[in-house]
Chain A
Amino acid sequence: MKLKGTEILLKVLEEEKVEIIFGYPGGAVLDIYDQLYKSNMKHILVRHEQGAVHAADGYARATGKVGVCLVTSGPGATNTVTGIATANMDSIPLVVFTGQVPTGLIGNDAFQECDITGITRPCTKHNFLVRNIEDLAPTIKEAFHIARSGRPGPVLVDLPKNVMAASTEYNPAGIKIRNQEPSYKPAFKKMGILLEMLNSAQRPLIMTGGGVILGKASELLTALARKYQIPVTGTLMGLGSFPGSDPLWLGMLGMHGTYYANMAVSHCDLLIAVGVRFDDRVTGTIDTFAAKAKIVHIDIDPSSINKNVAVDLPIIGDTKAVLKDLTKYFDEHNYAYEDSERQEWLNQIADWKEKVPLTYCQNGQVIKPQFVIETLHKLTKGDAIITTEVGQNQMWTAQFFPFDKPNTFVSSGGLGTMGFGFPAAIGVKCAFPDKYVVDIAGDGSIQMNIQELATAAQHKINVKIVLLNNGYLGMVRQWQELFYEKRYSHTDMTYAPDFVKLAEAFGVVGLRATKPEEVESVLKQGLEMDKPVLMDFRVSREECVYPMVHPGDSISNMSLGSREMIN
Chain B
Amino acid sequence: MEKKEHIISVLVHNKPDVLARIAGVLGGKGYNIESLCVNSTMQYEVSKIVMTTIGSKETVTRIENQLRRLVDVIQVDDLTNVESIHRELILVRLNLTADKKEQINKVIDTNKWKVIANADAYVILEIIGDQAQIGFALARLEPLGIADITRTGIIALNLEN
Interface residues in chain A, defined as those with a beta carbon under 8 Å from any beta carbon in chain B: 117-118, 121-122, 125-126, 146, 151, 180, 301-303, 305-307
Contact = CB atoms under 8 A, between A and B. Distances in A.
Contact of B71 (A125, A301, A305): A125
Contacts of A301: 69
Contact of B62 (A118, A126, A151, A307): A307
A277 to B, nearest CB: 12
Interface in B45-69: 58, 61-62, 65-66, 68-69
B71 A180 contact: yes
B121 to A, nearest CB: 41
B28 A122 contact: yes
Given A117-B17, A121-B17, A306-B58, 8 more contacts: A118-B20, A121-B21, A122-B24, A151-B69, A301-B69, A303-B69, A306-B62, A307-B62
11 contacts: A117-B17, A118-B17, A121-B17, A121-B21, A121-B24, A122-B24, A122-B28, A125-B71, A126-B72, A303-B66, A306-B62
Nearest to B16: A129
A125 B72 CA distance: 11
A118, A301, A302, A307: which has the most chain B beta carbons within 10 Å? A302
A126 B24 contact: no
Contacts of A125: 71
B71 to A, nearest CB: 4
B33 to A, nearest CB: 16
A121 B62 CA distance: 19
Interface string B1-41: 00000000000000001001100100010000000000000
A118 B58 CA distance: 29
B98 to A, nearest CB: 50
A126 B65 CA distance: 16
Nearest to A117: B17
Nearest to A306: B58
A302 B69 CA distance: 9
B24, B61, B66, B69: which has the most chain A beta carbons within 10 Å? B69
A303 B20 CA distance: 20
Contact of B65 (A122, A180, A303): A303
Contacts of A118: 17, 20
B20, B21, B58, B65: which has the most chain A beta carbons within 10 Å? B65
A556 B57 CA distance: 31
A345 B70 CA distance: 43
Given A118-B20, A121-B20, A306-B58, A126 B71 contact: yes
Contacts of B20: 118, 121
B62 A303 contact: yes
A390 B71 CA distance: 31
Contacts of A122: 24, 28
Nearest to A182: B68
A118 B72 CA distance: 15
A146 B71 contact: yes
A125 B68 CA distance: 12
Contacts of B58: 306
B8 to A, nearest CB: 15
B4 to A, nearest CB: 19
A420 to B, nearest CB: 23
A121, A180, A305: which has the most chain B beta carbons within 10 Å? A121
Contacts of A180: 71
A302 B65 CA distance: 6
> What are the 10 A-B residue pairs with the smallest beta carbon separation, nearest first?
A303-B65, A126-B71, A302-B65, A122-B28, A303-B66, A121-B24, A122-B24, A303-B69, A146-B71, A121-B21
Contacts of B69: 151, 301, 303
B70 to A, nearest CB: 8
A117, A122, A151, A180: which has the most chain B beta carbons within 10 Å? A122
Interface string B113-152: 0000000000000000000000000000000000000000
Given A121-B24, A122-B24, A122-B28, A303 B17 contact: no
Contacts of B17: 117-118, 121
B126 to A, nearest CB: 36
Contacts of B65: 302-303, 305
B59 to A, nearest CB: 11
A157 to B, nearest CB: 13
Nearest to A180: B71
A126 B68 CA distance: 13
A302 B21 contact: no
B112 to A, nearest CB: 47
Contacts of B70: 126
A302 B71 contact: no
B28 A302 contact: no
B68 A302 contact: yes
Contacts of B61: 306
A306 B68 CA distance: 16
A151 B61 CA distance: 19
A397 B27 CA distance: 37
A303 B68 CA distance: 8
Contacts of B66: 303
Contacts of A302: 65, 68
Contacts of B24: 121-122
A122 B62 CA distance: 16
Contacts of A307: 62
A159 to B, nearest CB: 16
B75 to A, nearest CB: 14
A14 B21 CA distance: 31
